[in-house]
Homo-oligomer: A and B are copies of this chain.
Amino acid sequence: MDVTARPEGADCRGVSEILSRVGDKWTIQVVVALRLGARRFNGLKREVGGISQQMLTRTLKVLERDGMIARTVHPSTPPQVEYTLTPLGHSLSETVRQLADWAAENRQNIEDHRLRYDADHA
């Protein structure tokens, strides 16, 4: 099914909801951290700098609910919980990387526009 065929799809809401996930400050950082392999809770907390454990908990729960990551509990003392990217999560990370590439390419350009805009509106 090609989205480009119809100008305004019925699932615009669903799409923009997913876009807002992508734009979320923590979601992407967690996904990126998991691209390299499985991580545990506090490992992620360390790797994703500046995140509170509550935000990490919430982010992980949302991602798990959406099927982007898998949560595996190894019953032991101390308890170990591993998070891994599902195929769907990997798929997302690839798509996001394209957007990130675009952002990296055009970052300087955008920055220049801002400086000029700010200068004109001083």
Please list the residues of chain A having a beta carbon within 8 angstroms of any beta carbon in chain B: 1-4, 7, 9, 11, 14-16, 18-25, 28-29, 36, 46-47, 49, 64-67, 88, 91-92, 95-107, 109-114, 117-118
Contacts and interface: CB of A to CB of B under 8 A. Distances in A.
Nearest to A15: B103
Contacts of A107: 11, 14-15, 18
A100 B103 CA distance: 16
Chief secondary structure at chain A's binding surface? helix
Contacts of A96: 19, 99
A109 B16 contact: no
A55 to B, nearest CB: 14
A1 B49 contact: yes
